[in-house]
Each structure stands twice: as C-alpha cells, then as structure tokens.
Structure 1
Amino acid sequence: MVRSLLIRGMIAGFLASLLAFGFAKVVGEPQVDRAIAFEEQMEKASGHHDETPELVSREVQSGIGLFVGVGAFGTAVGGLFALVFAFAYGRVGALRARAVSALMALFGFVAFALVPFLKYPPNPPSVGDPGTIGWRTAMFFAMLGLSLAALVLALLLARKLAARLGAWNAALAAGVAFLILVLLAQWLLPEINEVPERLPAVLLWRFRVASFGIQAVLWTGLGVLFGGLVERLLEDGRGAFRVA
C-alpha cells in the first residue's frame, strides 16, 4: 500500500510542478528579466562590466532549466507528502482521503513556504552581497527547520490535548503554540536586508509575489491532485476505509 501511495504522490507532485512551472514562466520569469536588466544598468552606470563568461544561457535557465528544477522539486515533495500521508491517514479521526490531503497541503504550505517567506522573503537575482550568500542560505534553512519543528510540536500537542479538551479546542491550543514558537524563532534569528536602495519597489514586490505564488500553486495542486488519486485506492463509495 505504501508503494502505491508513494507512486501516486510522485505523480501528483510532478503534475503540480507543471502547474507551478506554468505560473513561474508567465508571472515569475518577466520579473527575473527585469531584475537582470536593472543589474546591467547599474553596472553600466558604475563603469564596471562583468566579463565572466555565462556558463548557462538565460534562455536555458528560463526554459529547460526551470522545468527540470521545478519538476524535480515537485516530484520529491510529492514522494515525501505520500509517506507522511501514509502515516497520518486513519489517525486524524474520520477525515476522508481528500480532506487529509488538503489539510496536509495547508500545513506544508504554512511550514515550508509561508513562515520562511515572512522572515526571509526571496530577492531577485543580483540582489544581495555575493560574499554573504552562504550565510543567508544557512539562515533561511534554519528558519525552515525551526518552522517544521514548531509544526511537529504543535501536532503532537494537539494529539495529546484532544482527549482532554476535545478536537476543536486542542486544535486551537496547538495553533497558538505554533504561532508563539514561530514568532520566537523569527525574533531570535538575525535580520537580513541587502536590497539596493535604487531597486524599484514595484519590481521587488512583484518578484516576491510571484515566488510566493509558485509555492501556493504547487502545494494547492499537490493537495488536490493527490487526494483525488488516492481516494479510490483507500475508500469505498461511502467514504469508508477500504480493507487492504
């Protein structure tokens, strides 16, 4: 059964990545092109010209490179999503497969995308000091790890309190705990602000909205597609669990 779920998860992740790729191509790539044009203008104004040869052309980066990157990421996330679903299904009350999938996608989007985005929003290419890219990457993954840890602790708390407070009150308490842990993590981690003063605010805003939208499309697509793929596998027509 786990193997069947894993295959469906990877299929759903790949299909969701196609949706995310389409969104990135239409909405995100024009912002990247504008950011690159801004960088070139700043180089001309300063009299500095970067003569480093381009290893991968911009056409390849925005085409097959983007497709492969998003597709590999979506497929991997879909596989992990399926494994977590295999553990969670049947342990979260009488929720049907589609509901569990949608709930997991929501949790995943919040922990993987929303929380790290609020602390360290993405910047267009050429923005930031190249010498600090390693440190900035480490801080982002630290925020991501703390977000996931907070989610796990909140879910464990909800499960522990459910018998005493009821499912609804336990969920509210867990939500408050998650929010407190996330706010504490964001307060403890250092701020990063390396955006050039001359960078147009509209360009920065649109790039970040596009980046956020890509994640939203990916997780929404994954939750909906995976739920549809596994519903017939796990449930009968009345929504009851099938006997494996």
Structure 2
Amino acid sequence: MLPLLTRGIAAGGLGGLLSGLFSLLLAGPVLDRAIRLEEEHGAEHAGAAQAHAHAAEEVFGRGTQHVGLVVTAVVMGLALGVFFGIVHAVLYRVPDPAADWQRAVTLAAAGFVALSLLPGLRYPARPPGVGDGDTVEERQLAWVAAMVIGVLGTALAWHLYRRLADRLQPVRQFAVAGTLVATLAALFLLPGNPDPVEVPAELLWDFRLLSLTGHGLLWAGLAVAFWLFSRAAATATAAATTTAGTPGVTAPAPAETVGH
C-alpha cells in the first residue's frame, strides 16, 4: 500500500497546485471583488470608525491571501491524495497496468461526485470573508455532514453497480442514478445556510462556478498524475523483471592447444 499512498500524495499535490493556480488566476479577481463589496457593506452598517478599526485589524494583505489560496489548494490536494491512495489500494487489490487509466479516472470521478459535487449542490461555495463570522463553525459542521452523506451515497452507488454486474448496462446505470438522486434528496434534509450572502447574484454564481471548476481540475489533475506515476512504476518494474530474467553471457572456453 505504501507505493500507492506515496503515488496518491504526489498526484494530489500536483492536482492541488493546478487547482490553486487556476483559482489564483481566474477566481482570485472575483474573490477580491466579493471581499470589497462585503467590506463596503460592513462599513455602511458599522460606521466609518468601526470600518477603520476593521482595516487596522487586517493581518494579511491581498498578496498573502493569494499565496494562501494556492497553499490551501495544495494541502487539500495532498489530503485527498492520501484518501485516493488508500481507497485505490482497497478497491483494486490486483495490479493491472492495462486498467490503470480507467481505474484512476473512475475513482477520481467518484471522489469528485462524493466530496465536491453533491455537497456543493447543497451548500454552494461562498467567497471567504463573506457572511456572519459567528456562523462559521455551524457552516463547517454542515459541510462535513454533507461530505459524509455524499461519500456514503456514492459508495452505495458504486456497490450497486458492481453487484449488478450480470444485469443489462441500462439497469446498472439507472440504479446508480437513482442512488445519487436519493443521496441528493437526503442532503437537502440538512439545515440551510444560517446567514444570507449579501453580494450580487452574478458575482456569487461566477465564484461558485469557478470554485466547482477548481475542484474538478484538482480531481482531474490527481487522476492524470496518478496514472502517469502508475505507468512509470509499471514500466520500471517490467524493465527490472526483463533484466533479471535475461541469462548472462557466458564467456567462450579457451581453445585447446594442438600439439605438433
């Protein structure tokens, strides 16, 4: 399992870096606009004196926040890489280099659905710093609950798809779709967001779309990198096996001296 875990961590780090750079270049400007609007909204309600105090309390500048955005994405990718490597080792016990690509893509797609798409449909992303700070813990707990439900629902869909291997493909696909729809319905039984997001709807949905795209890039980068690492490992193993199995070249025996 250790090689798969190491492979997953490295692939997750690369996927996180890809997602972080995307967020920095495209989502960063949207994030800055949302934060400025939130600060202006706070200044209107709190007064100029409190707004000045809030600005004085700001510890990190925009540049530091942007770097933190990339670092956060890389750390998230590393954590997901650990999860990816463990699940890959549990599900695919028998190595099969010919199936490495299909396995990596399938598992990454399942991870995206379970940990990004389904929770994101219930609790769409909001720009950091937007919303009531007193509800942060409540929102985090709700997000964790959504991820747990998403993982359980996706795992059940996966199990049904493999369990119905002797059935027609449409039957298996409808079983998966029905399970995911039921999972989404269960997610909407969770409490809603405790506070409204007071930013323009267009700006908010731009951020949400970019955030979901960033998640997709993370999982896609993880899958591709994991496959490339798996392919390199399989090639190295095959080369080592071929070299070990090649018989050594025997030196020719010395010619006999013919007496005269």
> What's the TM-score bracket when you normalise by the shorter of the two chains?
0.7 to 0.9
Matched position secondary structure for 2:213: helix
Q: CA deviation at 1:27?
A: 1.0
TM-score between the two structures when normalised by the length of structure 1: 0.85
Give distance in 2, aligned partners of 1:92 and 1:191.
44
Please list, as runs of the form range in 1=range in 2, the aligned pairs for 1:127-142 lying within 5 A after superposition. Answer: 127-142=130-145
Larger radius of gyration: 2
Deviation at 1:149, TM superposition (A): 0.6
More displaced, 16-25 or 182-191? 182-191
Q: Which amino acid is the alignment partner of residue 63 of structure 2?
A: E
Task: Please name the residue that 1:55 is paired with.
Answer: 59
Give yes or no for contact 1:115–1:147 (8 Å, CA) kept in 2.
yes
The alignment's C-alpha RMSD in Å is 2.7
Which residue is 1:217 aligned to? Answer: 217
Compared CA separation, residues 196 and 121, structure 1 to 2 (3 A): closer
Q: Measure how far apart 1:228 and its partner are.
A: 1.7
Aligned to 1:121: 124
Mapped contact 1:139–1:189 kept (Cα < 8 A) = yes
Corresponding residue number in structure 2 for 1:16: 15
Unpaired runs of at least 5, structure 2: 237-260
The CA deviation at 1:85 is 1.3
Change over 3 Å in CA distance of 1:196–1:179 after alignment to 2: closer
| Cα deviation, residue 146, structure 1 | 0.5
- Deviations for 1:195-239, whole angstroms, at most 9, x for unmatched residues? 345x21221111111111110110011111111210243479xxx
Please tell me whether residue 229 in structure 1 is matched to residue 232 in structure 2.
Answer: no
C-alpha displacement of 1:92: 11
User: CA offset at residue 189 of structure 1?
Assistant: 1.3
Match of 2:79 among 76, 80, 90: 76
Deviation at 1:118, TM superposition (A): 0.6
With over 3 angstroms needed to count, the CA separation of the structure-2 counterparts of 1:37 and 1:227, relative to structure 1, is: same
Shift of 1:140: 1.4
After TM superposition, what 4+ stretches of structure 1 lie above 4 angstroms from structure 2?
A: 90-95
Q: Structure 2 matches for 1:31-110, cutoff 5 A? A: 31-46=30-45, 47-48=47-48, 49-50=50-51, 51-52=53-54, 53-63=57-67, 65-89=68-92, 96-110=99-113
Preserved CA contact (<8 Å) 2:15 2:77 = yes
- 8 Å CA contact 2:161–2:175 kept in 1: the answer is yes
SS in 1 for 2:164: helix
Q: CA deviation at 1:115?
A: 0.5
Q: Tell me the percent identity.
A: 33
**In 1, Cα distance between equivalents of 2:183 and 2:142:** 14
Gapped regions of structure 1 (runs ≥ 5)? 237-244
